[in-house]
């Protein structure tokens, strides 16, 4: 290799090329965009989407679409992963055992939801041998029971009508790790207590962090929701600069464990806890029914009778994000939703001056110390009376 030469002609070593300073007016390359993973809790396809479900879905959708303007975002929502829970497989086994070869293609969400209410009321736990063929069909072939396939098909139509990003409701999206691989990786970092050799269960062990033992696989080998989430996220989450977990307040203990475990594997985790939506002052699980006149389909039909699609899309987000907020203090009220739809119609026809700042700058105001855009802060800002109107590109990119 030629070297630099001194004035006396001696070679002093390899030549060094110093970088030239950028010329005035030169366009510098943009810094690499940060990578964000959104991993909301999934809704099992066995019932109608209730106001609580819709709240979580709209929060996630606005977070995804807003953050995608300022970062590279992956929205991971895989029904496939959670089909393997006993809650889903047990429902499928119940349907085949009690209803036989039924054609579900013409049923509504409410029809299938009533069947699910009947299954939960039966309070009968299927044996592992009865569930194993269903689990194998999911794992090997990506099979979905016709009843749940029908529900997912109806949900896909709701997503389209609301303008929500479809993360692959009908796609086969298996988790990256098998159950035994997941257990092995947990064991390798000292976070697994496997008692199967003694006829007991597998536990996630984060006791050294002051968290309780949590069973993730029962003595018969059935994984729960947390085990499925670990299969999904254990390898995926560390590949991102930030992983956002969105979930129901009732699942706080499990998500504290999930955050601690993913952090052990190198992920940076943010948790977003959402309260459910009370109906007449009471929070009830969809497994008990009582959701008639409050399902997503019913709300959309009622809103569409008076407003066009852009107003419905914006108004729903104004209500379920800014109106109800992150907690669960306020019951669902049709009149409050109607007020938000009316406000949405005015926003879409407003002649107020709009915010002149570029869209990424507008959105970055609602990030604080995290990479994702906060849906509540962003959506609430649309309702501020003494601020400029939201720029049309914001509404188009995030809300419509």
What number of other Cβ atoms are within 10 A of residue 270's Cβ? 15
Would you say domain 35-174+224-274 falls under CATH 3.40.50.620?
Answer: yes
Q: Contacts from 190-197 at CB under 8 Å and sequence distance 24+?
A: 191/261, 191/264, 196/221
pLDDT of residue 52: 94
CA distance 397 to 377: 17
pLDDT of residue 20: 54
Report residue 165: phi and psi, to 5°. -65, 130
Q: Which tokens sit at 329? A: 């203090």
H helical segments located in the chain: 51-67, 79-82, 86-99, 109-122, 128-141, 146-162, 179-188, 225-233, 252-264, 296-304, 309-317, 334-348, 359-364, 375-382, 392-394
Distances (CA, A) of 45 to 27, 78, 104, 108, 360: 50, 11, 13, 12, 36
CA distance 314 to 299: 14
Q: Tell me which residue of 312, 309, 311, 303 sits closest to 335, measured CA to CA.
A: 303
Consecutive 10-residue averages of pLDDT for the chain (400 residues)? 39 44 55 91 94 97 97 96 94 95 94 93 86 94 96 97 96 95 97 95 97 95 95 98 96 97 98 93 68 88 96 97 93 94 92 82 90 96 83 93
Residues of the chain with CATH 3.40.50.620: 35-174+224-274
Check the CA dihedral 350-356-357-358 and report its sign: positive
Q: Which tokens sit at 356? A: 């002149």
pTM: 0.89
C-beta of residue 120 within 8 angstroms of C-beta of residue 287: yes
Q: Which tokens sit at 215? A: 């069973």
pLDDT of residue 21: 53
Check the CA dihedral 63-68-71-72 and report its sign: positive
């Amino acid at each position: 290799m030629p070297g630099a030469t001194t004035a006396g002609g001696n070679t002093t070593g390899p030549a060094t090329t110093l970088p030239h300073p950028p010329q005035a007016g030169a366009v510098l390359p943009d810094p690499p965009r940060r990578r964000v993973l959104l991993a909301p809790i999934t809704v099992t396809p066995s019932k109608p989407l209730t106001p609580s479900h819709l709240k979580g879905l709209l929060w996630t959708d606005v977070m995804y679409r807003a953050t995608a303007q300022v970062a590279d975002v992956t929205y991971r929502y895989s029904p496939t992963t959670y089909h393997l829970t006993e809650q889903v497989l047990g429902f499928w086994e119940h349907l085949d055992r009690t209803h036989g070869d039924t054609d579900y293609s013409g049923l509504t969400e409410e029809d299938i939801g009533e069947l699910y209410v009947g299954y939960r009321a039966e309070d009968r736990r299927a044996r592992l041998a009865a569930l194993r063929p269903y689990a194998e069909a999911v794992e090997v072939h990506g099979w979905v029971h016709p009843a749940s396939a029908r529900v997912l098909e109806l949900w896909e139509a709701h997503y389209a009508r609301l303008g929500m990003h479809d993360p692959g409701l009908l796609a086969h999206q298996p988790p990256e790790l098998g159950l035994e691989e997941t257990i092995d990786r947990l064991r390798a970092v000292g976070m697994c207590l496997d008692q199967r050799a003694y006829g007991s269960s597998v536990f996630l062990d984060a006791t050294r962090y002051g968290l309780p033992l949590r069973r993730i696989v029962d003595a018969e080998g059935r994984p729960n929701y947390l085990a499925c989430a670990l299969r999904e996220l254990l390898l995926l989450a560390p590949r991102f600069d930030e992983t956002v977990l969105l979930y129901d307040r009732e699942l706080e203990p499990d998500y504290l464990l999930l955050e601690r475990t993913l952090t052990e594997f190198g992920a940076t985790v943010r948790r977003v806890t959402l309260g459910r939506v009370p109906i007449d002052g009471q929070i009830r699980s969809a497994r008990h029914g009582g959701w008639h006149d409050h399902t997503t389909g019913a709300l959309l039909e009622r809103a569409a009778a008076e407003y066009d699609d852009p107003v419905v899309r914006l108004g729903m987000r104004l209500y379920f994000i800014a109106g109800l907020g992150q907690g669960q203090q306020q019951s669902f009220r049709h009149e409050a939703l109607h007020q938000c739809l009316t406000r949405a119609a005015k926003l879409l026809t407003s002649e107020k001056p709009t915010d002149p700042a570029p869209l990424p700058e507008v959105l970055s105001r609602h990030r604080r110390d995290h990479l994702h855009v906060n849906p509540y802060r962003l959506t609430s800002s649309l309702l501020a009376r003494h601020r400029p109107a939201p720029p049309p590109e914001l509404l188009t990119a995030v809300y419509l």
